[in-house]
């Protein structure tokens, strides 16, 4: 398997582990990390991930299925290590490549790939080998697959797409006249239609119309803004070294709509994440803007729950999203047989992603979406098209899930929603923050 990336020294890898991973804290010891089996030692395939709670239990089920030889395939012996989500996970993942303790397979948010592939922290996939196990490029939407590459080479295989969507109370939405003839949320098509929907839902519920939690949150405002901005058709381009190429007029349009929508009257403007989630779950709002990962929690509310891709209100369909993906952490001398097993493992797990979909995630492996069992999932199947118009963070080493970039974008947006600054000033601050990040030296250059 060819690998075009120049292999960095151990010292460079350690430097990348701290900077390229976007870590904001000093890395702790790898006491929680299991050493992978060597080719001459135990045969278990070493897998790292960050899936806990309900997701963790579903991943257990998927691993158990492939371990036992699902679909008649040969089974696996899997040594799974679960690490805490956050900057520390990405620090440890990078340091494992530097310290000779890399797992055979690891989970990574696709939005973080730009901090790893350029510096050789992850190894390339062999697409011919994956194809032997029934997984090819055509099995993924172009919007997601396009982000798996660095300089034309594939370094990540998506497991899912997890978009920022809208959940709604079907009874309230019906009373507000927002459903189509099939009982699903009707298209909106304009900012005014979204604003009117909030008013109609407020009237229908006697409470708030649309709920959104953002106060002190490090990602929510960015998720909402990034999706709306992408719908304008403008590019949010952050070229190495700067300056940022951001369409200020388009950004102001997006932020202005955010401030009009969350006006503190029809729709609250001062909720934190848990406050918005609790208010929607208890019927104090007709719609909530959240990640699809909240589906298991919301299903317990007892409401007749609907869900839809984030409504298109500007010129271009786009939904902000990310993707849990699989990568091959760098190994200096990978054993060919173990690498083959790693590819087979990834392929087999993808084929189990109907199980993963039960938590709300959209399977990235498209053949699963074509199964009747997926079509029967309600409301998951109603927002599956979000994967076709997925928009991720800019492909920069400092961006992505859990990054300082998202936090720095959220702060001026929060000020605008709380009425402490204007959309124009918020956008100017976002541009300055992006420029500051771009002026920092790229540690994987």
Q: What sections of 351-422 are H helices per DSSP?
A: 353-357, 366-369, 372-375, 404-417
Read off the tokens for 93. Answer: 């993942």
Question: CA 11: distance to chain centroid?
Answer: 30
pLDDT at 30: 29
Angle, CA 394 vertex, CA 391 and CA 400 arms, to 5°? 90
> Is the distance from CB of 220 to CB of 212 less than 8 angstroms?
yes
Q: Provide DSSP, 284-333.
A: SEEEEEEEGGGHHHHHTT-S-EEEEEPPP-SSS--EEEE-EEEEEE--SS
d(CA 392, CA 144): 8
DSSP 180: -
Give domain 163-320+395-439's CATH number out of 3.30.300.30, 3.40.190.10, 3.40.640.10, 3.40.50.300.
3.40.190.10
- Which ranges of 87-241 would DSSP assign to H, the alpha helix? 87-98, 127-132, 142-145, 170-175, 191-205, 220-231
Q: What is d(CA 322, CA 135) in angstroms, rounded to the nearest whole number? A: 20
Q: Are 40-158+324-363 and 163-320+395-439 equal in CATH topology?
A: yes
Q: Looking at domain 40-158+324-363, does it have CATH number 3.40.50.720?
A: no
What DSSP state is assigned to residue 196? Answer: H
Please check whether residue 168 is in contact with residue 311, taking contact to mean a CB–CB distance below 8 angstroms.
no
The mean pLDDT values, 10 residues at a time, for the chain of 445 residues are: 42 43 33 34 83 95 92 86 90 84 95 94 97 98 97 98 98 98 97 98 98 97 98 96 96 98 97 98 97 96 97 98 97 93 97 97 97 97 97 96 95 98 98 96 71
pLDDT value at residue 444: 61
CA distances in angstroms from 376 to 99, 307, 358, 362, 380, listed in the order given: 46, 14, 11, 14, 9
Burial readout 367-379 (b: 16 or more C-beta within 10 A, e: otherwise): ebbeeeebeebeb
The DSSP secondary structure of 64-100, one letter per residue, reads HHHHTTGGG-----EEEEE--SSHHHHHHHHHHHHTT
Residue 410: per-residue pLDDT: 98
Counting every residue, how long is the chain?
Answer: 445
Chain position carrying tokens 């939405």 = 173
Instruction: Indicate the domain borders of the chain.
Output: 40-158+324-363, 163-320+395-439
Beta bridge partners of residue 213, listed in sequence order: 271
How far is residue 397's CA from residue 336's CA, in Å, rounded to a whole number? 29
Model pTM above 0.75: yes
- Write the CA distances from 340 to 59, 107, 250, 405, integer angstroms: 21, 17, 47, 36
Query: For residue 435, what are its two tokens?
Result: 């420029």
CB atoms within 10 A of CB 436: 12
- The dihedral over CA atoms of 89, 90, 93, 96, expressed in degrees to the nearest 10, equals -100
Q: What per-residue confidence (pLDDT) applies to 13?
A: 43
> How far from 394 is each of 236, 275, 438, CA to CA, in Å?
7, 29, 12
Secondary structure class of 2 (helix, strand, coil): coil
Question: Quick check: 112 and 395 in contact, CB under 8 A?
Answer: no
Give Cα separations from 276 to 54, 125, 181, 201 (angstroms).
21, 41, 29, 15
| Phi/psi of residue 196, nearest 5 degrees | -65, -35
Residues 6+ apart with CB under 8 A from 429: 411, 412, 415, 421
The predicted structure's pLDDT at residue 3: 41
Q: Which two tokens stand for residue 411?
A: 């702060």
């Amino acid at each position: 398997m060819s690998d075009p990336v120049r292999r960095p020294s151990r010292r460079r890898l350690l430097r990348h582990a701290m900077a390229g991973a976007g870590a904001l804290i000093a890395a702790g010891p790898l006491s929680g990390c299991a050493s992978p089996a060597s080719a001459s030692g135990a045969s278990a395939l070493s897998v790292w991930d960050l899936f806990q709670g309900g997701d963790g239990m579903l991943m257990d089920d998927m691993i158990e299925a492939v371990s036992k030889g699902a679909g008649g395939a040969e089974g696996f012996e899997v040594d799974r290590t679960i690490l805490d989500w956050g900057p520390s996970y990405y620090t440890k993942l990078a340091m494992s490549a530097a310290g000779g303790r890399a797992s055979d397979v690891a989970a990574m948010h696709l939005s973080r790939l730009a901090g790893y592939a350029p510096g050789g922290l992850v190894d390339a996939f062999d697409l011919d080998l994956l194809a032997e196990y029934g997984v090819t490029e055509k099995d993924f939407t172009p919007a997601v697959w396009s982000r798996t590459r660095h300089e034309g080479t594939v370094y990540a295989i998506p497991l899912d797409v997890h978009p920022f969507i809208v959940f709604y109370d079907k009874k309230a939405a019906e009373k507000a006249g927002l459903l189509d003839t099939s009982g699903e949320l009707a298209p909106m098509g304009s900012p005014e239609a979204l604003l009117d929907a909030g008013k109609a839902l407020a009237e229908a519920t006697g409470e708030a119309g649309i709920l959104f939690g953002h106060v002190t949150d490090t990602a929510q405002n960015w998720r909402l803004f990034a999706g709306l901005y992408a719908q304008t058709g403008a590019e949010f381009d952050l070229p190495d070294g700067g300056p940022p190429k951001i369409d200020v007029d388009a950004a102001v349009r997006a932020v202005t709509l955010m401030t009009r929508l969350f006006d503190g009257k029809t729709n609250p403007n001062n909720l934190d994440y848990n406050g918005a989630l609790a208010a929607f779950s208890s019927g104090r709002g007709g719609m909530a803007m959240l990640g699809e990962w909240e589906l298991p929690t919301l299903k317990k509310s007892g409401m007749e729950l609907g869900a839809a891709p984030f409504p298109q209100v500007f010129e271009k369909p786009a939904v902000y999203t990310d993707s849990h993906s699989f990568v091959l952490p760098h190994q200096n001398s990978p054993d060919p047989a173990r690498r083959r097993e790693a590819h087979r493992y990834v392929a087999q797990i993808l084929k189990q992603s109907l199980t993963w979909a039960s938590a709300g995630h959209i399977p990235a492996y498209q053949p699963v979406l074509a199964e009747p069992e997926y079509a029967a999932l309600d409301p998951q199947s109603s927002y599956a098209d979000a994967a076709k118009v997925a928009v991720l963070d800019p492909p920069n080493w400092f961006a992505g899930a859990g990054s300082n970039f998202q936090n720095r974008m959220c702060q001026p947006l929060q000020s605008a929603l709380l009425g402490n600054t204007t959309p124009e000033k918020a956008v100017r601050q976002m541009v300055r923050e992006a420029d500051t990040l771009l002026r920092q030296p790229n540690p994987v250059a």
